[in-house]
Amino acid sequence: MTYWFNAPGLREMAPLGSTTGARGLSSTLFVPRLFIGVNAIPEHGGGIVNYIAPLCARKKAFIVTDESVRTLAERVSNSLKTRQFTTEIWDGAKPEVPIANVRECADAMIKFEPDLIVGVGGGSVMDLSKAAWIFYERPDITDLTKFTPATPLNLRKKALLLCVPTTSGTGSEVTSAAVLTDDVGGRKMPIASRELFPDFAAVDPTFTIGMPPKLTAGTGLDALAHAIDCVTSPTSNDFTDALALKAISLVFKYLPRAYRDPRDREARLKMHIAATMAGIAFGNAACTLTHSLGHALGKVFHIHHGVAVGIFIPYTQQFYSVVTDKYVDVCKTLDIKGRTNEQKLARLVGEVKDLLESIDLPLTLEGLGITREQLAANMKKLVIDSLEDPDTFGSPRWITEEQCEKLFWYTFEGKDVDF
C-alpha cells in the first residue's frame, strides 16, 4: 500500500524541512471561530448556535458521535433545535476511525443531506466527521489514502463543520488533520488539508466533566506532547510559540488537578483551553518524533495515543538538544533555572517525569508492561513505521534507523539520551 506521505519526492524534500532553514519562511495561522467556556453551547440556546444558524439556510444538522457520549450529542442537538435546526444523531463512531467506518458515516450523511456537520466526541469522532465530510461533499473521491494535502477538495459547497470536543487533548477541533486507520494494512493513516480546519469549535468544559481519570491523563499528555513538539519544531513561529508555551504551563498546573478530581471545574476549563491552544499551535506548525514513535508504539502494543506519545517527551527533548536550544523557552515558561543549558534540560526532563508520575503513568516502556523480548521482536516494524510517519518530517533533527532503534531502547530502560 502506497500512502501519500511515502511519495518519493516528498520524502526527499523532508530533511530540508527539518532544518533551521525553515525558520523565517512566511507562515499562516488558521483558526476556526472559537467559543470558549461553560456557555459556549448551552442546551437551552444561545452561544455559538446563534452565530451558526444564519449561515445554514436549510438548518439540517448531522451530529456524529459515539455511544459513550450520546447524551452530550443530545445536548448539542437540543441547543441547535432552539434555532429551528432539524437534527440527526449518528452514534456509530468507532475508535481509531477505520476507513470502513468513515464510509458508513458518510452514507448516513448523504441520505440526510445536512448543511451543518457536528462532531461531538474525542479525537476519533472529530476526525471521523472530517473524513466523512469529504465523502459527502466529494462523491468522486473514493480512496482517502490517495489524496494529499495539496489535493483541492472544494469543501463547504454543501455543509459547514462544527466540532465539540468531549476530551481535552487531541486538538482536532482546531486542526486540519484527521488520523484514520487503513482497513487493509491496519496502519495509522493521517490525512490533512487546509480545507479540513473546522468552521467552528465549541470549547465547553462542561462536556468533559466526569471524564475518567485514566482518559484525563492520557489525553492531557497528548496535549503536552503537541505543545512541546511544536515549540521545538523548525516550523514553529512566534504565534505558535505563544500558544504552545501557554498550553505547556496550563498542563503542568492543571492536569494533576483534573486527574485527581474529575469534577474540578476550573481545572477542566484550563485543560480544555490548553488542549485547544496546543491544537492551534501544532496544527499550524508540526508535531514531531513523540508522535512518530508514539503512533508506531501504540499500534503494535495497543497503547492509548496520549500515553504512547507522552512517554517519549523526555527522550526526544534530549535527542533534539544537539541541534536546538528551544527547550530553554520551555524552561523559562516553567520557571526552571540552571547555570547551563544542559542543567536546564536535565531539570526539564525531571519535571516532565514528575508530571507523568503525578498522574500515575510510567516513565519507561518496561513500565508500560512491554517486555525486552516483545520490543526486540517488533523493533523492525517500530523503526520502519516511525521513520515513515509524516510527523517525522517536523522533527528538528533528522533521525536514522539506528538512532530510532536506540531511542526505543533508551525509552525502554529509562536511560538519558546521550547520542
Residues that bind Fe ion (CB under 5 A): 222
Torsion from C-alpha of 124, 167, 279, 128, nearest 10 degrees: 20
Query: Could you tell me the smallest distance in angstroms from the CB atom of residue 287 to Fe ion?
Result: 6
259 neighbors 359 (Cβ within 8 angstroms):
yes
Please identify the residue of the shown chain whose CB is closest to the bound Fe ion. Answer: 222
Task: For 84-97, give one letter per residue: b (16+ CB within 10 A) or e.
Answer: ebebebbbebbebb
Q: Least Å distance between CB 223 and Fe ion?
A: 8
Q: Which one, 162 or 287, has the nearer CB to Fe ion?
A: 287
Q: What's the min distance (Å) between Cβ of 286 and Fe ion?
A: 12
Q: CB of residue 202 vs Fe ion: minimum separation in angstroms?
A: 20
Residue with smaller CB distance to Fe ion, 79 or 386: 386
| Identity of the residue, 226 or 268, whose beta carbon is nearer to Fe ion in the bound complex | 226
Residue closer to Fe ion, measured from CB, 204 or 389 = 389
CB of 165 to Fe ion, least distance (A): 13
| Residue 201, strand partner residues | 34, 163
CA distance 189 to 390: 9
Beta bridge partners of 73: none
Nearer to Fe ion, 267 or 307 (CB): 307
Please give the radius of gyration of the chain, using alpha carbons only, rounded to the nearest integer: 21
Q: In what order do the strands lie in the sheet with 200-203?
A: 33-36, 200-203, 160-165, 116-121, 60-64, 86-90
Query: Which residue's CB is nearer to Fe ion, number 66 or number 222?
Result: 222
Strands (E), 236-287: none
**Dist CA 293 CA 409 (whole Å):** 12
Residue 56 or 221 with smaller CB distance to Fe ion: 221
The residue among 139, 145, 172 whose CA lies nearest residue 158 is 139
Distance, in Å, from the CA atom of 181 to the CA atom of 296, rounded to the nearest integer, reads 12
216 is written with which cell numbers?
484525563
